[in-house]
Amino acid sequence: MRLFAAVSPPDNVLEHLETALASVRGGQASELRWTLPEARHITLAFYGEVPEGYLDDVVGALDDVATAHTSFEAALRGAGLFDGRTLWVGCSGDGWGQLMSAAGRIGTDLLGRAEDRRSRPHLTVARAAGRGRRTRGPTRGAGPDPVAAVAAVDPAALAHALALYTGPTWTVDEVALMSSRLGAGPGGSPRYDVVHRSALAAVAG
Protein backbone atom coordinates (compact mmCIF):
# COMPACT_ATOMS: atom_id res chain seq x y z
CA MET A 1 0.00 0.00 0.00
CA ARG A 2 1.05 3.62 -0.58
CA LEU A 3 1.86 5.16 2.79
CA PHE A 4 2.81 8.57 4.12
CA ALA A 5 3.05 10.30 7.50
CA ALA A 6 0.94 13.39 8.00
CA VAL A 7 -0.69 15.81 10.41
CA SER A 8 -4.38 16.61 9.91
CA PRO A 9 -5.57 19.96 11.30
CA PRO A 10 -8.77 19.84 13.41
CA ASP A 11 -12.18 20.60 11.90
CA ASN A 12 -12.38 24.19 13.14
CA VAL A 13 -9.03 24.99 11.48
CA LEU A 14 -10.13 23.43 8.17
CA GLU A 15 -13.49 25.22 8.30
CA HIS A 16 -11.77 28.57 8.88
CA LEU A 17 -9.51 27.94 5.88
CA GLU A 18 -12.45 26.92 3.68
CA THR A 19 -14.22 30.18 4.50
CA ALA A 20 -11.10 32.12 3.49
CA LEU A 21 -10.76 30.15 0.25
CA ALA A 22 -14.41 30.74 -0.64
CA SER A 23 -13.89 34.48 -0.25
CA VAL A 24 -10.99 34.65 -2.73
CA ARG A 25 -11.68 32.00 -5.36
CA GLY A 26 -15.06 33.22 -6.63
CA GLY A 27 -15.82 31.99 -10.16
CA GLN A 28 -12.35 30.49 -10.58
CA ALA A 29 -13.31 27.29 -8.75
CA SER A 30 -14.27 25.52 -12.00
CA GLU A 31 -10.82 26.16 -13.50
CA LEU A 32 -8.92 24.68 -10.56
CA ARG A 33 -9.01 21.24 -8.96
CA TRP A 34 -9.68 22.00 -5.31
CA THR A 35 -8.79 19.44 -2.68
CA LEU A 36 -11.66 18.29 -0.48
CA PRO A 37 -11.57 19.94 2.97
CA GLU A 38 -11.72 16.57 4.74
CA ALA A 39 -8.72 15.33 2.71
CA ARG A 40 -6.43 18.25 3.52
CA HIS A 41 -3.32 17.43 5.54
CA ILE A 42 0.30 18.40 6.07
CA THR A 43 2.53 15.64 4.70
CA LEU A 44 5.57 14.98 6.87
CA ALA A 45 7.09 12.20 4.74
CA PHE A 46 6.02 10.06 1.80
CA TYR A 47 7.03 6.40 1.84
CA GLY A 48 5.48 5.16 -1.39
CA GLU A 49 4.53 1.52 -1.88
CA VAL A 50 5.24 -0.39 1.32
CA PRO A 51 4.93 -4.22 1.44
CA GLU A 52 2.39 -5.50 3.96
CA GLY A 53 5.15 -7.26 5.85
CA TYR A 54 6.79 -3.93 6.68
CA LEU A 55 3.65 -2.26 8.05
CA ASP A 56 4.25 -3.14 11.70
CA ASP A 57 7.84 -1.92 11.43
CA VAL A 58 6.74 1.41 9.96
CA VAL A 59 4.10 1.79 12.67
CA GLY A 60 6.67 1.08 15.39
CA ALA A 61 9.17 3.50 13.89
CA LEU A 62 6.58 6.26 13.66
CA ASP A 63 5.58 5.63 17.29
CA ASP A 64 9.24 6.06 18.25
CA VAL A 65 9.47 9.31 16.29
CA ALA A 66 6.31 10.67 17.91
CA THR A 67 7.34 9.89 21.48
CA ALA A 68 10.70 11.58 20.84
CA HIS A 69 9.02 14.88 19.88
CA THR A 70 6.84 17.05 22.07
CA SER A 71 3.53 18.52 20.96
CA PHE A 72 3.64 22.11 19.72
CA GLU A 73 1.40 25.00 18.71
CA ALA A 74 0.80 25.57 15.01
CA ALA A 75 -1.38 27.60 12.65
CA LEU A 76 -2.02 27.73 8.91
CA ARG A 77 -0.39 30.90 7.64
CA GLY A 78 0.48 32.46 4.30
CA ALA A 79 0.31 30.87 0.86
CA GLY A 80 2.37 30.21 -2.25
CA LEU A 81 2.75 28.18 -5.44
CA PHE A 82 4.78 25.19 -6.52
CA ASP A 83 5.69 25.23 -10.24
CA GLY A 84 3.20 28.05 -10.76
CA ARG A 85 0.33 25.55 -10.63
CA THR A 86 -0.08 24.06 -7.14
CA LEU A 87 -1.60 26.41 -4.57
CA TRP A 88 -0.59 25.74 -0.97
CA VAL A 89 -1.12 27.28 2.44
CA GLY A 90 1.84 27.31 4.79
CA CYS A 91 2.16 26.40 8.48
CA SER A 92 3.73 28.24 11.39
CA GLY A 93 5.12 26.44 14.44
CA ASP A 94 8.53 25.56 15.81
CA GLY A 95 8.19 21.78 15.75
CA TRP A 96 7.74 21.07 12.05
CA GLY A 97 11.36 20.86 10.91
CA GLN A 98 12.59 18.21 13.33
CA LEU A 99 9.39 16.19 13.06
CA MET A 100 9.54 16.15 9.25
CA SER A 101 13.22 15.16 9.24
CA ALA A 102 12.67 12.32 11.70
CA ALA A 103 9.62 11.01 9.83
CA GLY A 104 11.53 11.18 6.56
CA ARG A 105 14.40 9.08 7.93
CA ILE A 106 12.00 6.17 8.45
CA GLY A 107 11.87 5.69 4.69
CA THR A 108 15.66 5.73 4.47
CA ASP A 109 16.52 3.60 7.50
CA LEU A 110 13.71 1.07 7.33
CA LEU A 111 12.74 0.88 3.67
CA GLY A 112 15.99 1.84 1.98
CA ARG A 113 14.34 4.69 0.08
CA ALA A 114 15.95 7.97 -0.86
CA GLU A 115 15.37 10.48 1.93
CA ASP A 116 12.13 12.41 1.46
CA ARG A 117 13.19 16.02 2.09
CA ARG A 118 10.26 18.40 2.50
CA SER A 119 11.24 22.03 2.04
CA ARG A 120 8.47 23.47 4.20
CA PRO A 121 5.30 22.33 5.96
CA HIS A 122 2.30 23.08 3.78
CA LEU A 123 -1.23 22.05 2.97
CA THR A 124 -2.19 21.75 -0.72
CA VAL A 125 -5.53 23.39 -1.52
CA ALA A 126 -5.74 23.45 -5.35
CA ARG A 127 -4.00 22.59 -8.60
CA ALA A 128 -4.38 24.24 -11.99
CA ALA A 129 -6.26 21.96 -14.38
CA GLY A 130 -4.57 23.31 -17.50
CA ARG A 131 -2.72 26.25 -18.94
CA GLY A 132 -4.82 28.83 -20.69
CA ARG A 133 -3.55 30.40 -23.91
CA ARG A 134 -3.90 34.11 -24.59
CA THR A 135 -5.37 34.93 -27.97
CA ARG A 136 -7.06 37.98 -29.41
CA GLY A 137 -9.75 39.56 -27.24
CA PRO A 138 -13.46 39.03 -27.91
CA THR A 139 -14.87 40.49 -31.10
CA ARG A 140 -16.78 43.75 -30.62
CA GLY A 141 -20.39 42.91 -29.85
CA ALA A 142 -19.68 39.24 -29.24
CA GLY A 143 -20.10 37.40 -25.96
CA PRO A 144 -17.24 36.59 -23.58
CA ASP A 145 -14.29 34.84 -25.18
CA PRO A 146 -14.01 31.38 -23.51
CA VAL A 147 -10.27 31.17 -24.24
CA ALA A 148 -9.65 34.55 -22.63
CA ALA A 149 -11.68 33.37 -19.62
CA VAL A 150 -9.38 30.38 -19.16
CA ALA A 151 -6.33 32.64 -19.50
CA ALA A 152 -7.69 34.87 -16.74
CA VAL A 153 -7.43 32.09 -14.17
CA ASP A 154 -4.27 32.91 -12.26
CA PRO A 155 -3.25 30.77 -9.26
CA ALA A 156 -0.63 33.41 -8.45
CA ALA A 157 -3.40 35.92 -7.79
CA LEU A 158 -5.01 33.53 -5.33
CA ALA A 159 -1.67 32.96 -3.58
CA HIS A 160 -1.24 36.73 -3.33
CA ALA A 161 -4.74 37.13 -1.90
CA LEU A 162 -3.97 34.50 0.76
CA ALA A 163 -0.47 35.77 1.57
CA LEU A 164 -1.60 37.38 4.83
CA TYR A 165 -3.96 34.60 5.84
CA THR A 166 -3.62 33.29 9.40
CA GLY A 167 -5.87 30.56 10.77
CA PRO A 168 -6.68 29.52 14.32
CA THR A 169 -3.92 28.06 16.47
CA TRP A 170 -4.09 24.38 17.36
CA THR A 171 -1.90 21.88 19.18
CA VAL A 172 -0.13 19.32 17.01
CA ASP A 173 -0.23 16.31 19.33
CA GLU A 174 -0.30 13.33 16.98
CA VAL A 175 1.03 12.03 13.68
CA ALA A 176 -1.01 9.78 11.43
CA LEU A 177 0.26 7.02 9.17
CA MET A 178 -2.04 7.25 6.17
CA SER A 179 -2.70 5.21 3.05
CA SER A 180 -3.32 6.73 -0.36
CA ARG A 181 -5.42 5.07 -3.05
CA LEU A 182 -5.20 7.02 -6.29
CA GLY A 183 -8.52 7.60 -8.04
CA ALA A 184 -10.57 5.98 -5.28
CA GLY A 185 -11.99 9.21 -3.85
CA PRO A 186 -14.89 11.41 -5.03
CA GLY A 187 -14.56 12.52 -8.64
CA GLY A 188 -11.45 10.43 -9.16
CA SER A 189 -9.49 12.16 -6.41
CA PRO A 190 -7.16 10.16 -4.13
CA ARG A 191 -8.67 8.49 -1.09
CA TYR A 192 -6.81 8.86 2.20
CA ASP A 193 -7.38 6.55 5.16
CA VAL A 194 -5.73 6.61 8.58
CA VAL A 195 -3.81 3.38 9.21
CA HIS A 196 -2.37 4.29 12.61
CA ARG A 197 -2.11 7.29 14.95
CA SER A 198 1.00 8.06 16.98
CA ALA A 199 0.76 10.49 19.91
CA LEU A 200 3.47 13.08 20.40
CA ALA A 201 4.97 13.48 23.86
CA ALA A 202 3.15 15.90 26.14
CA VAL A 203 4.85 19.17 27.05
CA ALA A 204 6.31 18.96 30.55
CA GLY A 205 4.47 20.98 33.20
- What are the DSSP calls for 22-79, one per residue? HHHHGGGGGGEEEPPGGG--EEEEEEEE--GGGHHHHHHHHHHHHHTSB-EEEEEEEE
Q: What is the pLDDT of residue 24?
A: 87
pTM score:
0.83
For residue 148, the cross-strand partners are none
- Domains of the chain, start order: 2-199 (3.90.1140.10)
Residues 42 and 192: beta-carbon distance below 8 Å: no
Tens-digit pLDDT profile for residues 71-109: 999 999 999 999 888 999 999 999 999 999 999 999 988
Q: For helices 55-67 and 96-109, what crossing angle results, to 10°?
A: 150
Other CB atoms within 10 A of residue 160 CB = 14
Overall residue count recorded for the chain in this entry: 205
Please, what is the average pLDDT of the chain?
Answer: 84
Name the residue among 108, 88, 105, 73 with its Cα closest to residue 41.
88
Q: Is the dihedral of CA 43, 26, 11, 92 positive or negative?
A: positive
| Section 172-198 average pLDDT | 87
